[in-house]
Amino acid sequence: MKVTRETLLDPKKRVRPIDIRQAKGLDTFLEQMGGTSFQARNLARARELLDEALREEDCAIFLCLAGSLVSAGLGKVLTTLVENNMVDAIVSTGANIVDQDFFEGLGFSHYQGDPLVDDNLLRELHIDRIYDHFIDEDELKVCDETIAKILDALEPGAYSSRELIREMGRYLAEHGLRHDGLVETCYHKDVPIFCPAFADCSAGFGFVAHQHGRRLRGEAMVTLDGARDFLELTYLKMDGAKDSALLMIGGGVPKNFVQDTVVAAEILGREDIPMHKYAVQLTVADERDGALSGSTLREASSWGKVSTSKEQMVFGEATITLPLLVGALYYGNARKGRQARNFQKGFARDGSFDKARCQAALETR
Ligand SMILES: NC(=O)c1ccc[n+]([C@@H]2O[C@H](COP(=O)([O-])OP(=O)(O)OC[C@H]3O[C@@H](n4cnc5c(N)ncnc54)[C@H](O)[C@@H]3O)[C@@H](O)[C@H]2O)c1
């Protein structure tokens, strides 16, 4: 369409001020934000894109997590997405999954604190700090030890992080003290979780203990197969659904890992696999340092990873933007009637993926 004075000053595009008296819930509140500017409008568009993805007949939704989301208090927002079939697979940093969510599943908590506290005192008291909240370091050690215990109980061999996190979910279902976390909810809902840098968290400490013990005794051990994580995730992208949507919180390794599946599919000879059709990222990082976390989704398109027509960056801190976004999706209609994908059931022990197995599991549910 030709750009003219009339198209640029379109009466339908007038800024519509937010009228909070008319915003009765998060759903309508985000609609109102869409009439404004800046990040409010971006967040409203992110919601519109995800609404569209939820309504698609055959579109897998991948949730990507970085930062300290669970410890900050966003765990239930994330499980709401899983419980209501709004995400089909998760790619995360280990911190969110192990140090924070699994940790809470063991019955432990995070505590509100003060960022100006004396950190030397915290060190003496065995208290760890994440900006403005605290963790009992002795409890974190129990978390490390529990991971080692889970690894000790497994058949020696190579595992993807997805398989190991499913075992963590099984452990919480049997021995956990809190049953509403992400790892356990995903275990029950057959939503796979991948942690591409799984050793870079409490799981790494568990691995070190397990492997060192086995080495000293000359016994076979459990190893982490990071390459298989990538292969499994690529299979999901190729055969899980016709299209895919990404909801990325923060950025970091999960953002790149999931985007790269399009390139990996091409390497496997599947040039028919489309770029990720929808992509939303909530982040505070900007693009000026050239790092991945702040790189725009338009930039990802130059690498052949994300389609440009349905992408939205939202610049804002996730403890504010994510509950607003998920709340609007939850109270809206788009998610209603969306089926679970059961992707976890599609994987065999050798890492191969067959969608028919997910379907069979759905029918027996
Ligand atoms: N975060 C922790 O407390 C913690 C603890 C143990 C291990 N680790 C490990 O460190 C590695 C890096 O982790 P990371 O994800 O914390 O850091 P990261 O620096 O990789 O974060 C990625 C990006 O996400 C953005 N981001 C993070 N939180 C955000 C928020 N609340 N709102 C908006 N944007 C946000 C950041 O600005 C950054 O650009 C991972 O392997 C992780 O397992 C982290």
For the residues of 101-154, what is the DSSP string, one character each? IIHHHTT---EE--TTS-HHHHHHTTEEEETTEEEEHHHHHHHHHHHHHHHHHS
Looking at domain 16-364, its CATH architecture is 3-Layer(aba) Sandwich (3.40)
How close is the Cα of 96 to the center of ligand 1, in Å? Answer: 9
- 44 CB-contact burial (10 Å; exposed 0-12 / middle 13-18 / buried 19+): buried
Catalytic residues: 305
**pLDDT at residue 299, as a whole number:** 87
Tokens of 64: 């990507």
Candidate of 283, 289, 319, 321 to mutate for ligand 1, largest count of ligand atoms within 8 Å of Cβ: 283
How close is the Cα of 181 to the center of ligand 1, in Å? Answer: 19
pLDDT in tens, 100-141: 999 999 999 999 999 999 999 999 999 999 999 999 999 999
The answer, yes or no, to whether any atom of ligand 1 lies below 6 A from the CB of 283, is yes
Of ligand 1's listed atoms, the one at least distance from the Cα of 253 is 20
Cα 11 off chain centre by: 39
Q: Where do the structural domains in the chain lie, given as residue ranges?
A: 16-364
Percent of the chain past pLDDT 70, that is, above it, reads 99
The answer, yes or no, to whether any atom of ligand 1 lies below 6 A from the CB of 91, is no
Distances (CA, A) of 123 to 115, 118, 135, 151: 14, 9, 11, 29
How close is the Cα of 42 to the center of ligand 1, in Å? Answer: 22
Mean pLDDT computed over every residue of the chain: 96
Specify the DSSP class assigned to residue 60.
Answer: E
The answer, yes or no, to whether any atom of ligand 1 lies below 6 A from the CB of 99, is yes
The answer, yes or no, to whether any atom of ligand 1 lies below 6 A from the CB of 135, is no
The answer, yes or no, to whether any atom of ligand 1 lies below 6 A from the CB of 254, is no
297 pLDDT band, cuts 50/70/90, is confident
Least confident span in 57-66, 136-145, 281-290: 281-290
Higher pLDDT residue, 176 or 286?
Answer: 176
**pTM listed for this prediction:** 0.96
**pLDDT at residue 365, as a whole number:** 63
How close is the Cα of 255 to the center of ligand 1, in Å? Answer: 11
pLDDT in tens, 148-182: 999 999 999 999 999 999 999 999 999 999 999 99
pLDDT in tens, 308-352: 889 999 999 999 999 999 999 999 999 999 999 999 999 999 999
**pLDDT at residue 5, as a whole number:** 96
Higher pLDDT residue, 139 or 297?
Answer: 139
